[in-house]
A and B are shown apart, each in its own frame.
Chain A
Amino acid sequence: MTKKTHLESTLTSLGDSIDWPTPSPHMSTRVIARIEAEQPTAAGRALLRRPTIAAIAVLVVSLVFVFSPSARQAVADLLSAAGIRIGVTSEEAPASGAELELGELVQLDEVGDTVDLQLRVPGGEDPGVPDAVYLSDSGHVTIVWDGTPSVPAAGDTGIGLLLTQYAGNSDQEIAEKSIGPETGVQKLTVEAQPALWIEGAAHTLTLLDTEGNPIQETTRLAANVLLWEANGVNHRLETTGDLQSALAIVDVLEPVP
């Protein structure tokens, strides 16, 4: 083990000086009371003590559900006769942003391999853990956060923040003709690269790449947009928040492990 430097020892001792909160004397009692309140009923526990029977039941149900609706109904009837009720729901709750047509729902820690991008995600407590991640056919990865009190949801989308990343290193210039009077455009520098902050109600933006070719950018939230490029990756941050909050998010971006 390497020896701590004086500063490291000082910081550790500083931790002892912090006015930390102390646990209530009843914390463990309350935790255990909640756990015991959630324990299965006597009948449920009896079933759980018979793992083989339970496992066979799960296997039968799993196999039959692959087959026809009539077979499913027959098994449901059989189990119902045995006093076991199974609730089957045909629809799962949609993922955050599912209606925005951002692509296929994927896992953040797996999608980086698919698109060969070093994806980044805000590592701070704000905005926190993403609510969903999508991969489009064109290789755009969009990370979604639901609206919160400080970054309210845009319209009726339920979404407060979108971060889209895709390969490319174009110096983008906004095509002025695509911007209406209600939309403000600010040129700035983000991560040492030229960037655009587009504030207002633009729904579709036409950008020009370095060769003057138009690039159509469709915003999903009709909110504010920060566009910039870093290390060969284009970034588009859509947020109901202001420029300062957008830049705060950029500041805590870190590679997805």
Chain B
Amino acid sequence: MEGRPLDEQELIASAKNGDTRAFGQLVRTHQGFALRVAYLVVRDPSEAEDVTQDAFVKAYRSLDRFRAEAPFRPWLLRIVRNEALNRVRSTKRRDSLALQISSDPVSGDAAPSPEAEVMSQDERGRLLGLIEDLPERYRRVIVHRYLLDLSEEETSEILGLPLGTVKSRSSRALQRLRKSIALEDGDST
């Protein structure tokens, strides 16, 4: 997932010197994650694609301000999210999560985890519904921290929240989810 940091640092250094092929490699490495972050905000695949392209162009223009020793992905994803937020502000606003479970058991290249293998399509849909019902401040943290599988530090940087806030909201959101799951299980028995 992280790649080899040395290679990435070399690509960034080359891109800073105007090597667009090196930046193209960075785009290909991070475009999947960037598109997901944009999609979480704009909720439309083609608009998310536009936003992601715009964000990559802005990131290239801003490379001089990127600190060489810093992790590249959260820096880039924050640019993507800000670009997406600006887009929804200037167009239509949406406030639902609007994610859907894939008809395939697992999307992407990853092998299914034990948890994914035991969860039925219906159970995954129910869990997604419970996340949808969370207050937005909790939902954002849960979606970035777990559904995108970002670290607490990355979530903090991308959402522009203090690390402590990410930790506390994550903890409270998990508590709420556990309670909701227990209530649903109680209803179904």
Give the contacting residue for B137; candidates A129, A149, A254; CB below 8 A: A254
Task: Indicate whether A22 sits within 8 Å of B35 (C-beta atoms), given known contacts A14-B146, A15-B147.
Answer: yes
* B-side contacts of A21, CB under 8 Å: 35-36, 39, 45, 48-49
Contact with A along B97-115 (1 / 0, CB 8 A): 0011111011110101101
* A-side contacts of B36, CB under 8 Å: 20-21
**Taking the complex as formed, is B14 at the interface, i.e. its CB lies under 8 A from any CB of chain A?**
no
Cα–Cα distance between A13 and B92 once the two chains are bound (Å): 31
**Taking the complex as formed, is B9 at the interface, i.e. its CB lies under 8 A from any CB of chain A?**
no
**Taking the complex as formed, is A17 at the interface, i.e. its CB lies under 8 A from any CB of chain B?**
yes
**Taking the complex as formed, is A63 at the interface, i.e. its CB lies under 8 A from any CB of chain B?**
no
Q: How many residues of B contact A (CB 8 A)?
A: 69
Give the contacting residue for B41; candidates A12, A16, A123, A125; CB below 8 A: A125
**Taking the complex as formed, is B133 at the interface, i.e. its CB lies under 8 A from any CB of chain A?**
no
- Are B107 and A20 in contact, with the CB atoms below 8 A? yes
Give the tally of cross-chain contacts (CB within 8 A).
174
Give the contacting residue for A11; candidates B21, B52, B142; CB below 8 A: B142
- Are A15 and B148 in contact, with the CB atoms below 8 A? yes
**Taking the complex as formed, is A257 at the interface, i.e. its CB lies under 8 A from any CB of chain B?**
yes
Least Cβ–Cβ distance between B16 and chain A, in angstroms: 13
- Are A35 and B102 in contact, with the CB atoms below 8 A? no
Least Cβ–Cβ distance between A246 and chain B, in angstroms: 14
**Taking the complex as formed, is A251 at the interface, i.e. its CB lies under 8 A from any CB of chain B?**
yes
Cα–Cα distance between A71 and B131 once the two chains are bound (Å): 64
Least Cβ–Cβ distance between B29 and chain A, in angstroms: 9
Least Cβ–Cβ distance between A152 and chain B, in angstroms: 12
Contact with B along A222-257 (1 / 0, CB 8 A): 000000000000000000000000001001101001
Contact with A along B16-34 (1 / 0, CB 8 A): 0010110111011001100
Q: Which of the listed residues B60, B93, B174 has the most CB atoms from chain A within 10 Å of its own CB?
A: B93
Task: Sort A-B residue pairs by CB-CB distance and give the 3 closest, nearest first.
Answer: A15-B147, A11-B146, A21-B45
Chain A residues engaging chain B, CB cutoff 8 angstroms? 5-24, 27-32, 34-36, 38-39, 123-129, 145, 148-150, 248, 251-252, 254, 257
14 contacts between A and B (CB under 8 A): A8-B146, A10-B119, A14-B146, A17-B119, A19-B101, A20-B36, A20-B107, A21-B49, A27-B31, A27-B49, A28-B24, A125-B136, A129-B85, A254-B137
